[in-house]
Structure 1
Amino acid sequence: MLGALKDNLASRAAKSVLAGRIERYGQLNDLRIRSKEKMLLVEVMLTGETEEILIVVDRYRILPADGGKIAIVIEAITVSREWLQLLLEDFVVGQAIPIPAVAAMALGKPDSSVPVSSSTSARPS
């Protein structure tokens, strides 16, 4: 129960931060963090689309990054639009993406003590 409450509060905070960052591309309708399962559910209405898009980050890792920062590595993703699924698989999945420390607190503790460079892929060879 405590984990669900933490995830709910973290989801609200993350939604308010991310909404402004994607405003140019559309509207963030919902964001739900499930930190225990290492999952994210995102609902967006992108400009030019007629239906809402569902993005499910099926699995992610939180890792230490260069300079004492934190990064998220998305390992698996499912998207309700094939073109966006392919785009995210090609350019996002497996990449170390720096995130604010407060976001890392909401998403979970880092999985590894070995820092990753945000300029290199964390995708296994």
Structure 2
Amino acid sequence: MGILGDAFRGAKSAGAGFAAKQFIRSYLAKYGELLDLDINSSSRNILFHFLPKGEKDNVLIKILGYEVTTQRAKTFVTIQRMEASREWISLLAQDFVVGRKIEVPEQYAAAIKMVL
């Protein structure tokens, strides 16, 4: 396809990345603000800074491995390992996030499958 094909793929990827960021932002909104996001789909790692509500300092969250699955026309993300710059957040993640299926809302499902 050449230059136009590359531009289309780039735009499509950027749009999917934006939608994936919106999903993560909406998932975390109740707890604080997503400040930045870096998704590396080839290594299946996600890094982001997050500012918890009521806190002055942000937290670095590292998702080190994840799986995207589809069951009965629903999309899920399962986090395999997660670390945070604050130990208590890492411990909460181990107890309540790691290994559990997180359902992706339908409006974000196609983007999540494409980006992750």
Q: TM-score scaled to structure 1, two decimals?
A: 0.70
- 2:81 aligned with 1:76: yes
Partner of 1:46: 52
**Compared with structure 1, are the counterparts of its residues 81 and 11 closer, same or farther at alpha carbon in structure 2 (3 Å cutoff)?**
farther
Amino acid at match of 1:47: K
Show structure 1 runs of 4+ deviating over 6 A.
none
- 1:28 corresponding residue in structure 2: 34
Q: What is the total number of aligned residue pairs between the two structures?
A: 102
| In 1: Cα distance, 2:78 partner to 2:30 partner | 24
Q: Is contact 1:72–1:98 with CA below 8 Å preserved after alignment? A: yes
**What is the TM-score with the length of structure 2 in the denominator?**
0.75
Deviation string, structure 1 residues 49-72 (Cα, Å, up to 9, x no partner)? 22110101011111222x221211
Point out the structure with max Rg over C-alpha.
2
- Contiguous gaps of at least 5 residues in structure 2: 1-5
1:92 aligns with 2:97: yes
**Cα separation, 2, equivalents of 1:91 and 1:17:** 19
Larger % of helix: which? Answer: 2
Cα gap change, 1:20 to 1:63, in 2 (>3 Å): closer
Distance in 1 between residues matched to 2:100 and 2:26, nearest whole Å = 23
11 and 52 in structure 1: CA distance in 2 versus 1, 3 angstrom threshold: farther
C-alpha separation in 2, matches of 1:97 and 1:36: 21
